[in-house]
Structure 1
Amino acid sequence: MGFSSILVETDSEAVVKAIFQEQTYPQLVETLIVDCKFLIRQVPNSKLLHTFREGNQCADFLANLGQSSPWSTTILNTPLEGMTTLLVRDANKVAFNRLR
Structure 2
Amino acid sequence: MTTDRSSLSNPGRTDEGGLIRDQNYNWFIGFIRNIGIAIGVDVELWALKDGLTICRELNLSAVEIEIDAKVVLGWVSDTYNCNLHHAALILDCKTLISQIPQVRMNHCFREASKCVDALARRGSELDQDFIVFDSPTMDIVMLLYYDKLGVYYERLCP
TM-score of the alignment, normalized to the shorter chain, above 0.5: yes
Q: How many residues align?
A: 95
Structure number with higher relative contact order (C-alpha < 8 Å, ≥ 6 residues apart): 1
Gaps of 5+ in 1: 69-73
Q: Please, which moves more after superposition, 83-92 or 56-65?
A: 56-65
Aligned to 2:46: none
Alpha-carbon contact 1:11-1:60 (below 8 Å) kept: no
TM-score by length of 1: 0.69
Indicate yes or no: 2:53 matched with 1:4.
no
Secondary structure of the residue aligned to 1:16 is: helix
Q: Which has the higher strand share?
A: 2
- What SS class does the counterpart of residue 30 from structure 1 fall into? helix
Post-superposition, which runs of at least 4 consecutive aligned residues in structure 1 deviate over 6 A?
none
Partner Cα separation in structure 2 for residue 31 and residue 39 of structure 1: 12
RMSD: 2.9
Runs (5+) with no aligned partner, structure 2:
1-57, 125-129
| Alpha-carbon spacing, 1:48–1:75, altered in 2? closer, same or farther (3 Å) | farther
Residues 1:46 and 2:46 are matched in the alignment: no
TM-score (norm 2): 0.47
Mark the CA change 1:52 to 1:30 in structure 2 (over 3 Å): closer, same or farther. same
Mapped to 1, the partners of 2:132 and 2:83 lie a distance apart of: 26
1:60-92 CA distance string (max 9 Å, x none): 4466567x6xxxxx6845367554443333222
For 1:94 and 1:17, the matched residues in 2 are separated by 27
